[in-house]
Structure 1
C-alpha cells in the first residue's frame, strides 16, 4: 500500500467526507490532517516499522485521523473499545506489545496509571499533530496494518492482524457487492474496534467518496430526525439496533413513526449483521419500512465472507452466498464436510 491508497482522500477534494455533530470536514481537510498526524508520529524518523500504536477514541474526526495516520507512518493500528474495563485494556495492550496510546484528554486520568505500568506513552491527537507535513514512507501492501481483538466468545480475546492488502481486498469487495458510490450518506454509530464499523461502514464510505455521519453512541432522536429528512440512503446496524428502533416507535406518536419509516423506505439499502437477525424481526422491519434487510456474515479473522445479494432474493434467516474471491465449505457437527 502506498502512502495513501484511498482514492478520494486528497487535498484537492472539497466533497464532505465526515460530519460530526454540526461540523463538516471535506476529504481535503481530513487528508491534510492525517498527513500532519503521520508526520508527528514519525517525528523525524523515516518509518514506524510496524510499531504498535493503540487508540482509545470514539467515532470522530480524531479517530479517522489516528487510524489513517498510523497506517501512513508505517505503524500497526490497534483500535480499542472505549467501553473496556482496565483489566481488558491491560490484556489488549500487553498482547499487542503497544508502545504508544492515543486518547482524548478526557480519558487520560483513567488511563495514565495503566499506561505507566506498561511503559506506554500516553498522548492526545493534538500533542502529536505536526505543524507541517513531512516526508512519509512508501508502505508495501504486504505489511501489517491493523490488529483487532476478537470478542472472546470461546476464550480470552485474541489479536488478529490484517495487512494493507487484506484491508484493501475487504473494502473493494464490499464496494462492488453493495454498490457503494460517492452519492451515499450513512450514519456510523457502531463500535469502532470491530470489522463492522471500521471496514463495512467507515472504510468503505471513505474509499467510495461517500459522506459518513459520526456518532459516539446510538442517538435515536438525532438519527431518526436525519432519517426523516432524507439525509441517509444507506443504513447498517446490528439486530439489537433494529429492535431498539421498533421499541422507540412504541413511545412516539404514529405520525412521527410513519415519517421515520418513510425515510427508511426511501433508502437504497438497509443491512443487518454481526449477529443473526431473527426471522420475526426481519419481517417486522419489512412490514414497517418496506426494506428487505440484507444479512451478511463475517469474522474478525477474515472480514466479510458471505452476503445476501444487493440485487435478487434476500432470504430471512440466511446469510447468503460467498462474496467474490471467497470459497465456502459447510461442515457438520462432527467437523466433516
Structure 2
C-alpha cells in the first residue's frame, strides 16, 4: 500500500488543478500511476533512492512527485530558475541517476554536463498509451519521501530529508490550524522547491480535496488574477505582498476597489519565509482588510509557530506553537525569556542527506532540534523571531543586537524601500553594525542618506546605530525573497576596500 497521505490525495474527486484546461483528481491519479509504472519498470523499487525533478510548477510536476512516491522514491525538486553552476550541487550531492523533466523545461546543459542521468520526459510518459498504470509499492511512514535543499543563505545548501510520516504530520497540522476545506481554491505563485510552496499550499490543498492554481509570479498579472475573485486563501512571501502593494498604488480607483473587494471575500491570507515588515503588514491591512497571519517554520521542521486563525494576531510576532509541536527556549545567561528556539515533534526531518555528523550536531543531547534562531517569548506565550545567530545576531562591544530590530526601525522611514543590517568584523568591538539601504526611486540621492542617519539617532539606542551605511539598488535575495546576508556583507566589504 502506498503512503496514507498520497492515497488521500489520489482518492479525491473533482477539480485538482485550475488551468486551461482544468485537471481532475482522476486525471492526477492516472498520470501519477503511469509515472510510477515508468519508474518501477526502469529502476525497480526506488525505496530510499533519489529522483531529481526539473519541472516548473504544474500538473507535470505533480505527476513526477506523486509518481515518485508511488514508486517508493525520494523526490528531489530542483529550482528551474537556477544556473547550471548551482544545479550541479543538487545533482552531485543527491547522487541520483534519473531526472524527471519535460521537453519544454529541460536545459540542454544538464544532460550534456551529467551524461549518467537517465532522462524521463513526464509529458511524453503520461501521454504514452503503451505505458500502463501502477498503484505503487508498499510504503512505511518512516520511509524517506522528500528532500528539500536548505535556502543556502548562511552556507552551502544541505539536503533535508523528510519521511512520508513527517510530511503527513505537517499537512494534518496545517489543515487543522488554518481550517482548510474542500471548497477552498488557492493560487500558488511560489517556487516548488521549498516547504512553503510544496507543503503549506499544494499538499494541504490536494490532501483536503481543494483546488490549486499554479501561477508564475508577475505582479501585474497576479494583481489582475486576484482582482477577479474566486480564490479563498492566499499565501505568499513579504516581497510579493510589497510588490502587490506597489501595483495597487499604480491602478485606477475602480481596479483598486475591485482588488479590495476580492481580497475581502477571501477567508485567509498568510505571510512567511521571511520577516514581514510592519509597514507592509499595515498597508496590506488598509488595502485588503486582512491582518496577515504570520507564521514560522524551517525546511527541517515544517511549520512550528503560527498566529491564530480565529484569535488575536500580533504584529511583528509569529504566534504560538502549533498542535503536536513541542518547543522550548535554551535561555541565554542573564536572560529570562530569550534564547535559541528548540523543537520536537513528529513532523521533524529524518536527516541531512549523507551528513551524519551534521545531523547529530543539529540536535541536543535530549533530542531537541536546535533551530539556530534567537527568539523571545511574551508573558502570554507569543513568540518573536529576533534573527539567526549566524547572521542576524550581532555581537558589538559586549552587546547582543538583533539586526531585524534595526531593520524594522529603518524600514519605517518614508524614504526607505528596504534595508538589511549585518555585522562587519572589527578588532576593537568584535563587530560593527553596517546597513545596506534601498531607497525609493524619488529619494535615491546622497542627501537622503544623511537624513536617514539623523532619523536613526532619534529612533535607535546609541549602541544599535549603524556605523557603516551603504546605498544599494537592490538587496540580494534567494528564490523565496529571503535576503542573503553573506552577499550583503560581501557588497559592503567590497565598498570599504
TM-score (norm 1): 0.93
Query: For residue 122 of structure 1, what is the aligned residue in structure 2?
Result: 119
Of structures 1 and 2, the larger Rg is shown by 2
Query: For residue 149 of structure 1, what is the aligned residue in structure 2?
Result: 149
CA displacement at 1:134 relative to structure 2: 3.2
Query: For residue 27 of structure 1, what is the aligned residue in structure 2?
Result: 25
CA displacement at 1:138 relative to structure 2: 1.2
Whole-angstrom CA distance in 1 between matches of 2:204 and 2:221: 23
Structure 1 counterpart SS, 2:108: helix
TM-score (norm 2): 0.64
CA displacement at 1:44 relative to structure 2: 6.7
CA displacement at 1:113 relative to structure 2: 1.5
Query: For residue 54 of structure 2, what is the aligned residue in structure 1?
Result: 56
Query: For residue 176 of structure 2, what is the aligned residue in structure 1?
Result: 176
Coordinate RMSD, CA, aligned = 1.9
Residues 57 and 82, structure 1, Cα contact 8 Å, conserved in 2: yes
Question: Which structure carries more relative contact order (alpha carbon 8 Å, separation 6+)?
Answer: 1
Query: For residue 103 of structure 2, what is the aligned residue in structure 1?
Result: 105
CA displacement at 1:336 relative to structure 2: 7.1
Query: For residue 275 of structure 1, what is the aligned residue in structure 2?
Result: 274
Alignment gaps of 5+ in structure 2: 334-338, 342-497
Residues 145 and 161, structure 1, Cα contact 8 Å, conserved in 2: yes
Whole-angstrom CA distance in 2 between matches of 1:311 and 1:266: 16
Whole-angstrom CA distance in 2 between matches of 1:281 and 1:23: 35
Whole-angstrom CA distance in 2 between matches of 1:318 and 1:85: 35
Query: For residue 330 of structure 1, what is the aligned residue in structure 2?
Result: 329
Structure 2 counterpart SS, 1:77: strand
Residues 3 and 164, structure 2, Cα contact 8 Å, conserved in 1: no
- 1:1-337 → structure 2 map (5 Å cutoff): 2-3=2-3, 5-6=5-6, 8-10=8-10, 13-20=12-19, 22-43=20-41, 47-106=45-104, 107-116=106-115, 119-129=116-126, 131-134=131-134, 136-215=136-215, 217-331=216-330
Residues 58 and 214, structure 2, Cα contact 8 Å, conserved in 1: yes
Structure 2 counterpart SS, 1:36: helix
Query: For residue 362 of structure 2, what is the aligned residue in structure 1?
Result: none
CA displacement at 1:201 relative to structure 2: 0.2
Whole-angstrom CA distance in 2 between matches of 1:86 and 1:78: 16
Q: How many residues align?
A: 332
